[in-house]
A and B are shown apart, each in its own frame.
Chain A
């Protein structure tokens, strides 16, 4: 592993995403990517008696699926790197209790998918583990309860609000395999331009995404056309548009590649009432580990840069009138390199 520039790593040993596990809730199952997920639950409760237990169950299921698909037992996984949106990342810690794998908890809000993947890849690349697993999860009802209002209250939402994905995504990273490979990662800086509206997180996070993408290109001396696709985590309609404006202002030629957003891919805007689009830890996780890696397997994509975005607010910081600190972590995934 090599430090590149200010904040990026190049993984020389080419850690491999050996297998992934993706599970989603019923609403995601009605979206256009349903066929890309390993399992679609038909009940939001996932057969549990609380939403929090449901979220944990999703985490456990995704982790077990990834191990099963790779043909290894859970106790062969050296480290589990996981995080979620709940206070004190309880979904991950409770699930790690069940899975009984040495656990590294990470918190990056919705950027946790790529933060955990970068950490797992670093562990494997540095020789610290033959197998490390990155997992993250979110649940629409737990996020609503913690960050917004109880669902029974039926509070109105503005069109800039986003809909938290119910699901979990796991990626098992190994020393060797046929790919796809995790080739580089860029760890983001906290960017806070003073947005205070938690119903407009796309706008709050867009500058962080742009900052990380620029840093990534700068550190690794790349131009956007190196990638077939650059995808942000959950900026959704509002943030995606803003990111394009910021790229233009910076004179960054984003038009040379395809720039998309996971938050705009998982739901059908015409049929599903999700305001600006999707959000949540699971958003970029299930879209990347399900849909995008499937496209790589089919050969439609060779090199992608996934830039997961996180709004690092808490209910207390929001109630005290603080703005929303945001972050974005980028991971480069490539097929067919050695």
Chain B
């Protein structure tokens, strides 16, 4: 049942992304940032955590969860350290993802020569 829920929610987020490109004629980067911002807004409304509880990886794997994590980190640090926490906390939760992107890009660049 977990699998079905993850599939439906994750699939629905991807469907929204596809519709943004096909119906609203967004380019890929626009569609991506729209989804990130949507994730942040949904978290602000307190709706993203329930979605993760319901769908698990179906909600954490799509890019919307990155927006959710950015907002989450900022709010946590705000509570702990006041306003400055918004800035320091933004990458608190997401640091693993960002560091991983940098480290693996570096490792790939050592081995491959991208030609674009």
Contact = CB atoms under 8 A, between A and B. Distances in A.
The answer to whether A binds B is yes
A241 to B, nearest CB: 20
A149 interface: yes
B82 interface: no
A152 to B, nearest CB: 6
Chain A: number of interface residues, binned into ranges:
10 to 19
Interface residues of B, number: 7
Contact of A51 (B22, B25, B28, B115): B115
Given A155-B28, A156-B28, A150 B21 contact: no
Interface in A135-177: 141, 144-145, 149-153, 155-156, 158
Nearest to B31: A156
A50 B114 CA distance: 10
A141 B116 contact: yes
Contact of A152 (B21, B22, B25, B116): B116
A141 B25 CA distance: 24
B114 A149 contact: no
A174 B116 CA distance: 40
Contacts of A141: 115-116
A104 B75 CA distance: 61
B113 to A, nearest CB: 8
A2 B65 CA distance: 67
A9 to B, nearest CB: 40
Nearest to A54: B115
A158 B28 CA distance: 11
Contacts of B25: 197
10 contacts: A51-B115, A51-B116, A141-B116, A144-B116, A145-B116, A150-B114, A152-B114, A153-B28, A156-B28, A158-B22
